[in-house]
Amino acid sequence: MHASAPLGRFWRSADAPGAPLGCELCPHRCSIAPGSQGLCRVRFNEAGSLVLPFYGALSAAAIDPIEKKPLYHFKPGSTVYSVGYVGCNLRCPFCQNHHISQSTGAARERVSPKDLVAAALASGCPSLAHTYSEPLIHAEYLLDAMTQARKAGLYNVLVTNGCVLETPARELLALCDAANVDLKAWDPLWYRSELGGELETVKAFITLGFELGVRLEITTLVIPGKNDADEDIRAMAAFIADLSADIPYHLSAYHPSYRYGIEATPPSSVRRLAALARESLHYVYPGNLAHERADTLCPSCGHVLVSRLGYSVSTAGLSGSRCARCGAQSPIRA
């Protein structure tokens, strides 16, 4: 069926011939029968081996502002060569990319890791991002591409739901320079029943990324009545602050999409929750709000280090990674 598909890693063999194999990439730990696929749709059991028919099958490639990931404290004002895949191990009913995350129909021809890195270099972008749908279910391709990208002098960026087990997470994060990780909610039951995700795995992924020196930024899409209780926003901010109060936290307004018709998050609600998060974090950014400034101020003198209005960005307040006015070290990786 998938004659030329590469073999995967992160799985264990069936206990007996013809029995299901076990995928060990994410907390679903799918038991995959011969001829079947895992829940993410991209990992198959072919004659007792886990194979990857979507290895390198991109659904999109574009040059984006790094702020679109969103990453605000990593190379502000730069562009990033961004690629997306197909499939996802979650099933968020508000997914804005459901046409690529919940089916595999948008997969195009395969691009080898070498050709991907060549395309990123040719674009002139300093960074290569794996984004749009969920990249981590393509861990083997990512590891190959990120290894080659790093050798070529590119920065590696991940935009992810953070839902993979420790062994692959450790390998991926060791190659990662900057990541935006979704922390979608604080209620583990809602995470599991509504999204198909696992809060503790995401928390472990974020913690590991921090420990390995990845430049982390965290995003919560604020959905009215679902994940926006004051105590939950406070708890998520406190969890992040326990790692570092300097980690940027993006609280983004939700808009109706896919299976959710709930009304969009009022801007006033996002601003109010951002104020709560600022009780424990230094850099909280409301997102998805039109005409809203999202500047970064010097922690020492209050000077505007980076000004942002939409994707219009100025880094005139920076001198390298320092404040251009008072010289204090800034939280920005320039």
Nearer to ligand SF4, 38 or 248 (CB): 38
CB of 52 to ligand SF4, least distance (A): 10
User: According to CB under 6 A, which residues from 71 to 90 bind ligand SF4?
Assistant: 88-90
User: Helix 113-123 vs helix 139-151: angle between axes, to the nearest 10 degrees?
Assistant: 50
User: Helix 166-174 vs helix 139-151: angle between axes, to the nearest 10 degrees?
Assistant: 20
Verify binding: residue 14, ligand SF4, rule CB under 6 A. Answer: no
- Pattern 118-157, ligand SF4, x by CB under 6 A: ---------------xx--x--------------------
In angstroms, how far is CA 109 from the centroid of its own chain? 23
Which of 30, 117, 185, 332 touches ligand SF4 by CB under 6 A?
30
Contacts with ligand SF4: how many residues (CB under 6 A)? 22
Verify binding: residue 288, ligand SF4, rule CB under 6 A. Answer: no
Nearer to ligand SF4, 190 or 271 (CB): 190
Q: How far is CA 277 from CA 176, 270, 305, in A?
A: 26, 10, 21
Q: How far is CA 83 from CA 9, 135, 188, in A?
A: 22, 9, 30
Verify binding: residue 39, ligand SF4, rule CB under 6 A. Answer: yes
Q: Distance (Å, rounded) from C-alpha 76 to C-alpha 93?
A: 31
Which of 21, 40, 51, 158 touches ligand SF4 by CB under 6 A?
40
CB of 230 to ligand SF4, least distance (A): 24
Nearer to ligand SF4, 255 or 325 (CB): 255
Verify binding: residue 99, ligand SF4, rule CB under 6 A. Answer: no
Smallest CA-to-CA distance from 217 within 252, 168, 261, 258 is with 252
Q: Are strands 284-287 and 249-253 parallel, antiparallel or unpaired?
A: parallel
Spell out a b/e string for 188-225, using b for 16 or more CB atoms within 10 Å of the CB, else e. Answer: eebbeebbbbbbebbbbbbebbbeeebbbbbbbbbbee
Verify binding: residue 180, ligand SF4, rule CB under 6 A. Answer: no
Verify binding: residue 253, ligand SF4, rule CB under 6 A. Answer: no
Q: Distance (Å, rounded) from C-alpha 112 to C-alpha 50?
A: 19
Verify binding: residue 97, ligand SF4, rule CB under 6 A. Answer: yes
Give me the residues that bind ligand SF4 (CB under 6 A), please: 23, 25-26, 28-30, 38-40, 43, 88-92, 95, 97, 101, 133-134, 137, 161
